[in-house]
């Protein structure tokens, strides 16, 4: 029987880790469990997702990659067992786009949807950090205020500068993270019995990879033979690192720096090579007020998922938020802590920077020496 699973994210729920591991193990998955993870390169899944939504992702929908989706379709159509599409940008697809995608997949006997979901207490700092890594300037509290306002006023994805502050205008948090609304949209087309929610476990297990195991169970794939590991990459900033970067963004806005330079120097070097490699602490935590709001919001969302009748891999308790606070909630960093990060970063950049060209040419230095000798001789004659 031909079955296609569409993994729609959500963003910041371990999707990159899952996709990297799937890609490295795709030959083993095909041989041992009949799972096809199609594509010629891993980025094919990204191009398929953005070309489904060209109006939204206009900057990324490059015509040079318009043939990627037909190639993926051809590979899946020719495979009689299970195929998997995976990219977090599918989470923003409209009903019309979902309908078009499913029409293209009509050759399959069944189409299922998978969503990896993480609790708000972890998602909020993670998404805010991602914003900061991309030139955004809003503080964490300003960001959470905007997200809460959108949820409470039923204007998901419609935060305005008037009610949320100019630094969080057009904050799209809920467009990507409203798993209740996103899943309901897909369920209308595939049915709730074919919607699978994989909860992201709390903490890091002493052994194994719980998220990976839960994800593969949905696909009915044996995890044991898929033994090619992926590097464990640190992609989280500490509270003081994020605040340092946010301060830097105040001085590096689009009108002062072109994106290519920001991407290469700030994202590539400062973040990727220095901050991620430095000794790091906990990310920024929620305030008491924001944690209480997140706890109530999470409870409402968990109940909606439970009552929808979706298949759950993991535990819906993973999506709950404690209103009492968490021991690892990091407070707002002090100015001294942020300054230390700034100084450490500058020191690392100095140590990594290429040596400047050697000073002035020899003839110039010789001329300077000769001038000093002449000045001394003139001074001695005047003193006689």
The string of pLDDT tens digits covering residues 6-63 is 999 999 999 999 999 999 999 999 999 999 999 999 999 999 999 999 999 998 999 9
pTM of the model as a whole: 0.87
Q: Which helix (H) or strand (E) holds 302?
A: helix 288-308
Rg (CA), the chain: 26
Q: How far apart are the first and last CA of the chain?
A: 109
CA dist 307 and 317 (Å) reads 14
162 band by pLDDT with thresholds 50, 70 and 90: very low
The more confident residue out of 251 and 162 is 251
- Over residues 201-227, the pLDDT tens digits come to 987 655 669 999 999 999 999 999 999
280 band by pLDDT with thresholds 50, 70 and 90: confident
- Over residues 290-303, the pLDDT tens digits come to 999 999 999 999 99
Residue range(s) occupied by CATH 3.40.50 in the chain: 3-122+171-232+289-322
What pLDDT score was predicted for residue 384? 59
Strand segments (E) across 168-270: 195-199
CATH of 3-122+171-232+289-322, one of 1.20.1070, 3.40.50, 1.10.760, 1.20.140: 3.40.50
Q: How far is CA 268 from CA 247, 274, 281, 346, in A?
A: 18, 9, 21, 15
């Amino acid at each position: 029987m031909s079955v296609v699973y569409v993994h729609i994210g959500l963003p910041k729920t371990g999707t990159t880790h899952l996709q990297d591991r799937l890609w490295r193990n795709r030959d083993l998955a095909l041989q041992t469990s009949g799972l096809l993870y199609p594509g010629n390169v891993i980025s094919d899944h990204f191009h398929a997702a953005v070309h489904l939504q060209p109006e939204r992702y206009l900057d990324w929908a490059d015509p040079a990659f318009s043939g990627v989706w037909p190639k993926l379709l051809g590979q899946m159509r020719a495979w009689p067992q299970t195929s998997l599409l995976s990219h977090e940008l599918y989470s923003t697809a409209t009903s019309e786009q979902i309908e078009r995608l499913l029409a293209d997949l009509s050759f399959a006997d069944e189409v299922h949807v998978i969503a990896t979901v993480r609790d708000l207490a972890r998602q909020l700092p993670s998404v805010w950090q991602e914003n900061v890594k991309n030139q955004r300037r809003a503080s964490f509290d300003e960001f959470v205020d905007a997200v809460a306002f959108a949820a409470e006023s039923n204007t998901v994805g419609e935060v305005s500068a008037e009610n949320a502050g100019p630094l969080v205008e057009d904050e799209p948090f809920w467009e990507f993270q409203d798993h209740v609304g996103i899943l309901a949209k897909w369920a209308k087309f595939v049915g709730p019995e074919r919607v699978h929610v994989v909860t992201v476990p709390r903490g890091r297990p002493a052994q194994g990879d719980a998220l990976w195991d839960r994800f593969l169970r949905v696909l009915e794939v044996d995890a044991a033979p898929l033994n090619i590991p992926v590097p464990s990459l640190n992609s989280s900033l500490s509270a003081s690192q994020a605040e340092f970067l946010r301060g830097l963004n105040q001085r590096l806005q689009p009108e002062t720096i072109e994106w290519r330079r920001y991407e290469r120097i700030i994202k590539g070097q400062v973040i990727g090579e220095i901050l991620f490699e430095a000794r790091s602490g906990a990310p920024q935590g929620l305030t008491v007020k924001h944690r209480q709001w997140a706890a109530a919001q999470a409870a409402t969302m968990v109940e909606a998922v439970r009552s929808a009748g979706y298949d759950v891999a993991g535990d819906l308790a993973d999506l709950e938020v404690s209103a009492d606070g968490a021991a690892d909630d990091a407070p707002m960093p002090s100015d001294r802590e942020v300054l230390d990060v700034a100084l450490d970063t500058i020191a690392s950049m100095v140590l990594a920077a290429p040596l400047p060209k050697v000073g002035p040419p020899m003839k110039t230095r010789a001329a300077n020496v000769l001038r000093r000798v002449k000045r001394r001789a003139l001074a001695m004659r005047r003193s006689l």
